[in-house]
Chain A
């Protein structure tokens, strides 16, 4: 079955710097990969989706890359702000792509002013 690895250690960076979060997966290559943001006491909120034939996707200060050879996705936040502090989860569909998602454990980002 698919396994997802996200850095379990919190990432602490200074405001204004670029944060880079990693999502590694094993087994099959998914049709797409999604990134979600979760704030304490709230449900995850969808941020970006990248398809297997896309190498890079951007949305404002966010950038996601997808390397199917390395089986890895990188999530970048440029010009980070304290408001970006949250836990970021990557999610992949199952091989059958029937709608079921498998979520990583998430990486907590702390942006210090």
Chain B
């Protein structure tokens, strides 16, 4: 398996624009996680899905952020409108069943810069 795939790897946009980040989890993994990493706040969980259903979105900063998982092999994280404070590295991760001690597999991340 190719591992967790994320696109784009880098995104530079201007404030107010819509940004869409994409993720393809490892085949067979039932859980998908979206994280944001910054120097100040570290690695923060934004939202996670189980079998394509959002389970916990308490980490989503505000209504400008939304995430979807239309099928088991694809998820998107959208920011609309984007702001400079959204600049961060966004990671997608997948897991078999983390409640049974399974580890999370992370993608390479998308580095987002909002000017």
Interface set of A (CB-CB < 8 Å, partner B):
31-32, 34, 41-46, 49, 51, 89, 93, 97-106
Contact = CB atoms under 8 A, between A and B. Distances in A.
Given A43-B109, A101-B104, A106-B42, A93 B98 contact: yes
A99 B108 contact: no
B99 A99 contact: yes
B103 interface: yes
B103 A46 contact: yes
Contacts of A103: 42-44
Given A99-B50, A101-B45, A103-B42, A46 B104 contact: yes
A97 B99 contact: yes
A92 B42 CA distance: 14
Interface of B: 4, 31, 42-45, 48, 50, 55-56, 91, 93, 95, 97-99, 101, 103-109
19 contacts: A31-B101, A32-B101, A41-B109, A42-B109, A43-B4, A43-B91, A43-B106, A43-B107, A44-B43, A44-B91, A45-B106, A93-B99, A99-B50, A99-B55, A99-B99, A100-B45, A101-B45, A104-B42, A106-B42
Nearest to A44: B106
A2 to B, nearest CB: 12
Given A100-B98, A104-B42, 17 more contacts: A42-B109, A43-B4, A43-B91, A43-B106, A44-B43, A44-B91, A44-B106, A46-B103, A46-B104, A93-B99, A99-B31, A99-B50, A99-B95, A99-B98, A99-B99, A101-B98, A101-B104
Contacts of B104: 44, 46, 101
A105 B104 CA distance: 17
A31 B50 CA distance: 20
Contacts of B45: 100-102
Contact of A43 (B42, B48, B98, B108): B108
**Which residue among A43, A104, A105 has the maximum number of chain B CB atoms within 10 Å of its CB?**
A43
A45 to B, nearest CB: 7
Contact of B103 (A34, A98, A102): A34
Contacts of B43: 44, 89, 103, 106
